[in-house]
Structure 1
Amino acid sequence: MRRRSLLLAAVPAGLVTLAGCGDDKSDSSKASASPSPSASSVPPPKIVEGPLPAITAGTKFDEKPTVAKGSGDPSPNLAVKTAIAGSGRTIAENDFVQANYLGQIWATGKVFDNSYDRKRPIVIQLAQGSVIDGWRYGLAGKKVGSRVEMAVPPTLGYGTSGNAQAGIKGTDTLVFVIDVLDSFNSKSSSHGTPAPQNDAALPKVGTNTDGKAPSIDIPKADPPKELVSNYVLEGDGAEVKADQTILCQFKGVVWDGGKTFQQTYDSGRLSQFSLEQMKQVIKGLAEGVTGKKVGSRVMIVVPPDLAYGDTPPSGGVVKKGSTLVFSVDILAAM
């Protein structure tokens, strides 16, 4: 089983379920965030510049660092330093960030987690209940492309209970080095190269990249009986693997009538879901995203046997035997 990051305070917020789909005129047609477990209400902390241990090797951006053991007593406040200044988008609270990171214990220098060895950056939301508060406050205001070092006191980490799985005691200050690769919010879109959409028997999807919902024009033809997955905008990222989780914008319509049954656009949220779990809900959606490049917009036509078949969600525009059409902007994968 693939090891998960120890950073999570809970399951990622902003997760959208495709199981409960309603009419596009009702509230149920919009993406709904999964409930986040209650988290301690920690007020914004005082942020100081140090002390912070030295990065002794791996000093380049996105290179696995080696960090010295902490010297003396750490600050009771959140210590944050930009080791390498990026020039990308400024990160705000509630944004999703894609980052590589290394975490170790101040007093011992023991590394308890790092994403560099897994070769899969984390994608996580800087929101209460989604990530430890040290990250939530320490990365806000930083720019994409930055390397940030921070020392997180227990009150902004795992609290007095610590994290036994990682060998973290309730008194441990944690040291992180974080390389911020990208960030996303509810206005993010794919920005790939437009691909031909010449098949008149297939839906045509809009190529706007302004964060607004693209149009999906359904042809006056019978839907295909097999799964179709085509680029609308072709990105230049790595191909999505079947065991990954993706962060995306999406819009779903039914072929018959073209009505929207669910979307993230204009909802103020993004969707984050595991392709392995999505196979249990809409198998064709998971299969249609697999193998496509990160940064792409993909048009996916899902026949009934790979969607809801004869058991659609009740009360919505998806009926028995409905063919579904999706536009999916693949923003990131982990």
Structure 2
Amino acid sequence: MRRRSLLIAVPAGLATLAACGDDKSDSSKASDSASPSASATSAAPAPKIVDGPLPAVTGGTKFGTKPTVAKGTGDPSKDLAVKTLIAGGGQTVAENDYVQAHYLGQIWNTAKVFDNSYDRKTPLVIQLAEGSIIDGWRYALTGKKVGSRVQFSVPPTWGYGKEGNAQAGIKGTDTLVFVVDVQGTFNANSSAKGTKVPQNDAALPKVGTNTDGKAPSIDIPKKDAPTKLVANYIIEGDGDEVGAKDTVLVQYKGVFWDSGKEFDSTYGRKALTSFGLQQVVKGWGQGLTGKKVGSRVLIVIPPKLGYGDNPPSGSGIKKDSVLVFSVDILAKM
């Protein structure tokens, strides 16, 4: 099983996407490795941020390369020490954004590396929100720009507190040192990025191609609904392909074929969502598998791959409904 960072929060499946009668989830994978996830909602006050001391980065000094970090000397700061080693020029990270980053974490006084994403060759995507990640990350990365390498030390107060993290070998007295390469940031204004694909089939819905973070239009044709799954690019991104077992971060909008009425949307909630493709209705899992990150995809789901005669209670979805979605694949998690 591929190791995954404990920084990754368990995906929150929406009622209108969760697969019925399927108890399989991705949550058991979230603790496969030792790393600094949020253990409990913190009540600690905001830290004072200082510029040191911090141990030297002695190798892998380029952005995106695995760093080597010396052991801390002397006593670490009791405040949050933060230093930008490489200043990026991209979008500014805000609290509650989802950040995509490579990182390495080690213990101050031993230089023991307890986790890093570079060896997994997969960057972390996680929300900088209270309860989702340790407070040290929230405060150190907020305000930084995409393309930046940031080093910071986290005392127990803004890490794991007096309990530490036994799985990671972190004691309640340990100060943690991180080097983080910020590769991307996503929020409610994020959209697909890529090349527009012609929509020439008059028998299929036409989806808007705006990339301003606003919900795209979905125009349903006055035709019979397709009986097979449709999963077509509207905007084709250039990112990695999504695998059948991956977890994705998305913007989406869903409407009924028969009325064009919207029944669910991240745009309306002004909040992105994430889920594993094995946790949702088959039409979503099959429709997004093989598609590229950065894309906008039209998915038309016939009842047999949606909810059939057993729609979720309170969803407003009728039996045997054909569902139409516009999905922006922002990142793999």
- TM-score exceeds 0.5: yes
Q: CA deviation at 1:4?
A: 2.4
State the distance in 1 between where 2:70 and 2:41 align: 31
State the distance in 2 between where 1:202 and 1:139 align: 43
Q: Which amino acid aligns with 1:19?
A: T
State the distance in 2 between where 1:315 and 1:133 align: 36
Given the alignment of the two structures, is residue 5 of structure 1 paired with residue 5 of structure 2, yes or no?
yes
Q: Deviations over 1:264-290 (max 9, x none)?
A: 013120011111222xxx111111111
| Ranges in structure 2 where 5+ consecutive residues have no aligned partner | 19-37
Given the alignment of the two structures, is residue 298 of structure 1 paired with residue 297 of structure 2, yes or no?
yes
Q: Which amino acid aligns with 2:43?
A: S
Q: Deviations over 1:99-156 (max 9, x none)?
A: 0000001111010001111111111011100000000000011000000000000111
User: Which residue of the partner structure matches residue 116 of structure 2?
Assistant: 114
Given the alignment of the two structures, is residue 323 of structure 1 paired with residue 325 of structure 2, yes or no?
no
Q: Percent identity?
A: 69
User: Which residue of the partner structure matches residue 58 of structure 2?
Assistant: 56
Given the alignment of the two structures, is residue 124 of structure 1 paired with residue 123 of structure 2, yes or no?
no
User: Which residue of the partner structure matches residue 333 of structure 1?
Assistant: 332
Given the alignment of the two structures, is residue 82 of structure 1 paired with residue 84 of structure 2, yes or no?
yes
Report if aligned partners of 1:16, 1:270 keep a CA contact under 8 Å in 2.
Answer: no
User: Which residue of the partner structure matches residue 311 of structure 1?
Assistant: 310
State the distance in 1 between where 2:215 and 2:70 align: 48
User: Which residue of the partner structure matches residue 158 of structure 1?
Assistant: 160
Report if aligned partners of 1:227, 1:303 keep a CA contact under 8 Å in 2.
Answer: yes
User: Which residue of the partner structure matches residue 222 of structure 1?
Assistant: 224
Q: Which amino acid aligns with 2:14?
A: T
1:105-254 equivalence runs, <5 A: 105-254=107-256
Q: Which amino acid aligns with 1:238?
A: D
TM-score (norm 1): 0.91
State the distance in 2 between where 1:266 and 1:191 align: 21
Q: 1:107 to 1:37 in 2, by over 3 A?
A: closer
| Ranges in structure 1 where 5+ consecutive residues have no aligned partner | 22-35
Report if aligned partners of 2:246, 2:332 keep a CA contact under 8 Å in 1.
Answer: yes
State the distance in 2 between where 1:91 and 1:215 align: 28
Q: Which amino acid aligns with 2:278?
A: E
Q: CA deviation at 1:16?
A: 4.9
State the distance in 2 between where 1:196 and 1:283 align: 26
State the distance in 2 between where 1:302 and 1:212 align: 23
Report if aligned partners of 1:194, 1:233 keep a CA contact under 8 Å in 2.
Answer: yes
User: Which residue of the partner structure matches residue 17 of structure 1?
Assistant: 14
Q: Deviations over 1:267-314 (max 9, x none)?
A: 120011111222xxx111111111111000000111111100110123
SS at match of 1:137: helix
Q: Deviations over 1:239-265 (max 9, x none)?
A: 111121111100011111111110001
SS at match of 1:63: coil
State the distance in 2 between where 1:167 and 1:183 align: 30
User: Which residue of the partner structure matches residue 30 of structure 1?
Assistant: none
User: Which residue of the partner structure matches residue 32 of structure 1?
Assistant: none
State the distance in 2 between where 1:2 and 1:326 align: 31
